[in-house]
Chain A
């Protein structure tokens, strides 16, 4: 009787044993058992799989055409998707630049159009964009460095070829524009002159010898018909020896690293 009663609960015991084994396996305690089992079964699995492939290989040509079409379709779709990803990434980057532009406190009356940099050739920059600027349109980027936050002057549009735009850099020999110098410490306007490109270099000429200048002083645009004012051009690098005692010249290091530019803005409207 006792034995029969005990036997009645055997199924429950099997159930509990299964639960216990499952618990142990979930904790990873039965890894050795799995490793042993897989090591024992792997040769047979490989052999069976190889036999299956050999068996069906003669019939694979029946399905080959469909597969080729499918592969071609998938490749085309893949190319489209990659193109979309590239476009979305570039939109994302442009968004980041536009946000920076909004945060640097440029005059609210100014409006901008975005362009991407293709390459720099000598003292010219080549851009591409959807906007077609007029000749002389200034090009700028956003600058956020020590002691300065605002627009940084890059160059001026010299040629428009459809979507491609050529921009002349300040270091170009054909470039000149009025600028002023601000003291790096006090932030006061100390001098004014004419920025002239000298083929790879930028020099500010026609500065009165009496105006005090220091290396590191900031050079800004004075503003003219085309170019707005207070755009950072660069920093005084070296004060050149004066020739006649009346005027002095300074060599200016550009504030922007043109080689590293990806995106720039056309200044297309404003007071």
Chain B
């Protein structure tokens, strides 16, 4: 994903989450989008992915008035963990992706806000599932075309 797009999405949703949307909503989904899109030739997560994760997490914390760096720490740790799977697993399993996104959102909600939002978790599960199933190209493996 382009950095500009990611930045714009994170700013828009950071503003909306709270007044309109639940406080934790699309961050997990954004993280998976970043991770899915930034594998290098060797199938490892690129440095750019980590930078993007660091950046958009910081934006969320800043706009939502939470402890700066907390979401970045969480999401970077999760990214390190996800990097182990490489791209092949991500390419195939829609339910697995959806469950990962729900877990990420749940962790952020519990750690940062001290509560969780069941309906929003359910919603984001289905959004991720349908995205992985119908929107993402089936042969997309995350390789950047040179």
Binding site for B on A (CB under 8 A): 7, 10-11, 14-15, 17-26, 30, 33-34, 37-38, 41, 44-45, 48-49, 52
State the Cβ distance, B86 to closest chain A Cβ, in Å.
15
The reply to whether A11 and B73 contact each other, CB–CB distance below 8 Å, is no
Beyond the given pairs A7-B47, A11-B47, A41-B15, 16 more chain A to chain B contacts, judged by CB atoms under 8 angstroms and listed by A's residue number, are A11-B50, A11-B79, A11-B80, A15-B76, A18-B69, A18-B76, A21-B58, A21-B68, A22-B72, A25-B68, A33-B62, A37-B63, A41-B63, A44-B15, A45-B19, A48-B16
Interface core residue of A14, A18, A20, A21 (most chain B CB under 10 Å): A18
The reply to whether B19 and A22 contact each other, CB–CB distance below 8 Å, is no
The reply to whether A18 and B54 contact each other, CB–CB distance below 8 Å, is yes
The reply to whether B62 and A45 contact each other, CB–CB distance below 8 Å, is no
A34 to B68 alpha-carbon distance, docked (Å): 9
Q: At the interface, is chain B mostly helix, strand, loop or mixed?
A: helix
Can you list 11 pairs linking A and B with CB atoms under 8 Å apart?
A10-B51, A14-B50, A14-B76, A18-B76, A19-B69, A21-B58, A22-B70, A37-B63, A37-B65, A41-B15, A45-B19
Neighbouring B residues of A21 by C-beta, 8 Å? 58, 68-69, 72
Nearest neighbor of A52 in chain B, beta-carbon distance:
B20
B67 within 8 A of A: yes
Neighbouring A residues of B58 by C-beta, 8 Å? 18, 21
The reply to whether B73 and A22 contact each other, CB–CB distance below 8 Å, is yes
The 6 closest A-B pairs by CB, nearest first: A22-B69, A21-B69, A18-B72, A11-B50, A49-B19, A48-B19
Binding site for A on B (CB under 8 A): 15-16, 18-20, 45, 47, 50-51, 53-54, 57-58, 62-63, 65, 67-70, 72-73, 76-77, 79-80
Neighbouring A residues of B54 by C-beta, 8 Å? 14, 17-18
The reply to whether B68 and A30 contact each other, CB–CB distance below 8 Å, is yes
A41 to B62 alpha-carbon distance, docked (Å): 10
Nearest neighbor of A21 in chain B, beta-carbon distance:
B69
A21 to B74 alpha-carbon distance, docked (Å): 13
Nearest neighbor of B62 in chain A, beta-carbon distance:
A37
A129 to B63 alpha-carbon distance, docked (Å): 62
Neighbouring A residues of B76 by C-beta, 8 Å? 11, 14-15, 18
The reply to whether B69 and A33 contact each other, CB–CB distance below 8 Å, is no
Nearest neighbor of A11 in chain B, beta-carbon distance:
B50
The reply to whether A15 and B65 contact each other, CB–CB distance below 8 Å, is no
A15 to B68 alpha-carbon distance, docked (Å): 13
Neighbouring B residues of A52 by C-beta, 8 Å? 19-20
Neighbouring A residues of B19 by C-beta, 8 Å? 45, 48-49, 52
Nearest neighbor of B54 in chain A, beta-carbon distance:
A14
Nearest neighbor of B51 in chain A, beta-carbon distance:
A14
A33 to B58 alpha-carbon distance, docked (Å): 12
B73 CB contact (under 8 Å) in A18, A24, A34, A49 = A18
Nearest neighbor of B74 in chain A, beta-carbon distance:
A18
A15 to B75 alpha-carbon distance, docked (Å): 9
The reply to whether B73 and A48 contact each other, CB–CB distance below 8 Å, is no
A48 to B58 alpha-carbon distance, docked (Å): 22
Nearest neighbor of A20 in chain B, beta-carbon distance:
B69
State the Cβ distance, A47 to closest chain B Cβ, in Å.
9
Nearest neighbor of B83 in chain A, beta-carbon distance:
A11
Nearest neighbor of A26 in chain B, beta-carbon distance:
B67
A48 CB contact (under 8 Å) in B15, B53, B65 = B15
Neighbouring B residues of A26 by C-beta, 8 Å? 67
Neighbouring B residues of A45 by C-beta, 8 Å? 15, 18-19
